[in-house]
Amino acid sequence: MAWYGYLRRLDVAQAGPPLPPPLPPGRLVDVPKRGEMLVRDLAGPAGARAPTILLLHGWTLCADLNWFAFYAALARHGRVLAMDVRGHGRGLRSEQHFTLEAAADDASALLDHLGAGPAIVVGFSMGGSIGLLMWRRHPASVAGLVLQSTALQWRAAMHERVLWSSMAGLEYVLRLGVPHGLTERYLRAASEANPDLLPVQDWLKAEALRGNPSDLAAAGRGLSAFDARSYAASIDVPAAVIVTMRDRLIRADRQRELAETIPGARAIEIDVAHNGWLVQPDTVCAAIEAALDVVTEQCVPNQAALLPLQTAPAAAPDDHAMGPPVMSHPLRPVEPPA
């Protein structure tokens, strides 16, 4: 939908309860020296040696919102863990100033506490930046990288410089509450592109409004300062970069630059925009699965990165289960890549 579609009057409709789609088991994990984190934990293929896959979501999103359509398919490749980044969704609420570095430390600490590392880190947008910082700050936690719709740095284009310079004003707006009409218009446009979203539209809206305004704005400022150019050429783990070719937030040529900078990284190009995860999940899921195949194959010689997986471990005494162990998702089933 063109931008002017957002100007159309909203239909008056009675809101329904925000019933979620089927989701993997969730639990609160008390991570030493970090705090409580909500974690989705989905077992990998029974009896197989497969990597742990850590999913890191994008800016202003949360794990379930970003990944609900992909959980089951990605579990064919290994144990899947997904966490809400601090300040986003149900993520950590801390009096400490938000930084992307702290978010990377949180993710590494979670893997260490669960004994689940090293992991293949799958990061979308901001999650890709956090994944790069994980490799730089905690290399023992990272077996491989799958980076989608992200770049070496976020200020190359004029519109990005304008966006990030407005973070103070954005924080003020967010503190007043994300305008519901804007969220509803965005979801209306997404549902027109992908009608499978209609049954969970109320849940999508509720999840989109969970973030902490101050932390969301601070995360935006962190992205404005993020720059991996000094170390990306030294990355020594298998990597794949999923290039979203119609991306107007992070141009495709800058995503390709990231792939060209990381030694040996494979670029996988798909004809979607930045919101492809929402409106074209089948295309995006096939690309992530293909990227996981590429990275996992290169991880095989490093057996430390491949753990025997049958079921997700039982909750520890300091963990609190949330939700039943559901393995499927409501969108169209995704066939494995050829």
| pLDDT beyond 90 at 219 | no
Q: In terms of pLDDT, which residue wins out, 242 or 322?
A: 242
- DSSP result, 112-179: HHHT--SEEEEEETHHHHHHHHHHHH-GGGEEEEEEES--SBS-SSHHHHHHHHTHHHHHHHHHT---
Output the pLDDT for position 301.
57
Mean pLDDT of 19-43: 92
Residue 25 pLDDT class (50, 70, 90 cuts): confident
Bridge partners for 42 per DSSP = 80
Output the pLDDT for position 322.
47
Output the pLDDT for position 4.
34
The 10s digit of each residue's pLDDT in 57-91 is: 999 899 999 999 999 999 999 999 999 999 888 87
CA atoms within 13 A on the CB side of 79: 27
| pLDDT beyond 80 at 173 | no
Residue 153 pLDDT class (50, 70, 90 cuts): very high
Maximum average pLDDT range among 23-37, 99-113, 173-187: 99-113
Mean pLDDT of 181-202: 86
Instruction: Enumerate domains of the chain plus CATH numbers.
Output: 23-322 (3.40.50.1820)
| pLDDT beyond 90 at 321 | no
Residue 309 pLDDT class (50, 70, 90 cuts): very low
Residue 302 pLDDT class (50, 70, 90 cuts): low
The 10s digit of each residue's pLDDT in 245-288 is: 999 889 999 999 999 999 999 999 999 999 999 999 999 999 99
Inter-residue long-range contacts of 10-19, CB under 8 Å, 24+ positions, other chains counted: 10/181, 10/184, 10/185, 10/188, 15/202, 16/202, 17/202, 18/202, 18/203, 18/205, 18/206, 18/207, 19/200, 19/202, 19/203
Average pLDDT, the chain: 82
| pLDDT beyond 80 at 337 | no
9, exposed or middle or buried, with CB in 10 Å at 0-12, 13-18, 19+? exposed
Mean pLDDT of 222-241: 95
Query: Beta-strand (E) ranges in 16-102?
Result: 26-31, 35-42, 48-50, 52-56, 79-83
